Amino acid sequence: MMRLPTFAYRVPTDVAEAAKIIREENAMIVAGGTDLWPNMKRRQVEPKSVVALRKLDALRGWEWRADGTLRIGPMATLRELERDKRVEEELPALWKAIVSISTPLLRNQGTLGGNLNLDTRCFYLNQNYEWRRAINHCLKCTGHTCWTAPGSTKCWAVNSSDCVPVMIALDATFVLQGADGTREVKAADLYHVDDGRDWLVKAPDEIMTDILIPPQNGHRSTYLKLRKRDSFDFPVLGVAARVKGNGSVEAADIILNAVGPAPVRCSEAEKALIGYELKAETIEEARALATRAAKPLDNTDHMPSYRKKMIRVYVKRALEELAN
């Protein structure tokens, strides 16, 4: 890995100014830097200008509103959030996702907003410049072929965020502020483009200013993560699950991540749960349906066939956990 290339480092003090600079200078955003800086060192991206969010105080902190909604500023560090007892108790899926990210040291630096805007990852992409030259580069970075699926016209880089599937399962809403104004977007709608080059449905100058998690009245949630080591590693399968109802299931969310460019909602599996108790047969049916929803390819750690098999195991274990 090389050192950082030369670039202009901008540190605006209000969001509108930040959005303006991004639009004018075609700048990229840096929060904690644990994703962007290594990508720049590998020359995956070479922005001429980078806008740092560190002086935007409005983007820090989090509070529980009277109606039970949790509002998180995207610049809250992962470590700060994991230390919050109420987050741990009321939003176990989010807490589990956060504590599974990388290492404690990197969570001191990394932010929740950064994780939700994490660039997609791929074994053909997250390599240094010389390596990528040896395969004549890839679709996401100056090349013409997706080496993960050479016949494909889309990029198969993987959404490797732990928090993204959780936000979708918890029905979170994000507030985005851009040069043209402010809007709200449902978590599920921010990630619905299934292409690793263009994985966020937002304009480059739109900055995430608020993460709003509604009260989880009666919902139970969890998050399970497949990876080789219990630290450092990105997920190669993430399962966020949420159910409502004691006895028979009234509502269910099963979201997979890190199996493709976009998170995957297992709608068929969810339907199979509604109206039934979380018993062995129900779970068996749901996990079989969930497995059909994703098609992992060979561009992360672990064999793709293994990752697909593990969907069965991880969905089962998540639902069993919620049954108890």
Task: Please answer whether residues 43 and 3 qualify as being in contact, where contact means their C-beta atoms are separated by less than 8 angstroms.
Answer: no
DSSP state of 238: E
Residue number, 64 or 123, with CB nearest to another protein:
123
User: Which is closer to another protein, CB of 85 or CB of 228?
Assistant: 228
| Upper half-sphere CA count for residue 269 (Cβ side, 13 Å) | 30
Closest approach of Cβ 103 to another protein, in Å? 8
Asked if residues 40 and 47 have their Cβ atoms less than 8 Å apart, the reply is yes
The residues binding another protein (CB under 8 A) are 1-3, 123-124, 126-128, 130-131, 133-135, 147, 226, 228-233, 301-303, 306, 309-310, 313
SS3 19: helix
Q: Which of 240, 310 has the CB closer to another protein? A: 310
Tell me how far apart the alpha carbons of residues 221 and 241 are, in angstroms, rounded to a whole number: 5
CB 55 to another protein: min, Å: 28
| Residue 257 near residue 235 (C-beta atoms within 8 A) | yes
Which is nearer to another protein, 62 or 147 (by Cβ)?
147
Measured from the CB of residue 86, what is the shortest distance to another protein in angstroms?
A: 27
CB of 60 to another protein, least distance (A): 28
Of 168 and 226, nearer to another protein (C-beta) is 226
> Nearest distance from residue 63's CB to another protein, in Å?
33
Residues whose CB falls within 8 Å of the CB of residue 200, separated by 6 or more in sequence, listed in order = 117, 190, 191, 193
CB of 243 to another protein, least distance (A): 21
Q: 34 phi and psi, to 5 degrees? A: -70, -15
Q: How far apart are CA 174 and CA 208, in angstroms?
A: 7
Enumerate residues 6+ apart whose C-beta is below 8 A from 140: 44, 120, 122, 125, 146, 155, 157, 196, 197
Tokens 């997920």 locate to 235
- Give the residue with the Cβ less far from another protein, 83 or 133: 133
Specify the residue, 147 or 191, whose C-beta has the smaller distance to another protein. Answer: 147
* Closest CB 50 distance from another protein, rounded Å: 17
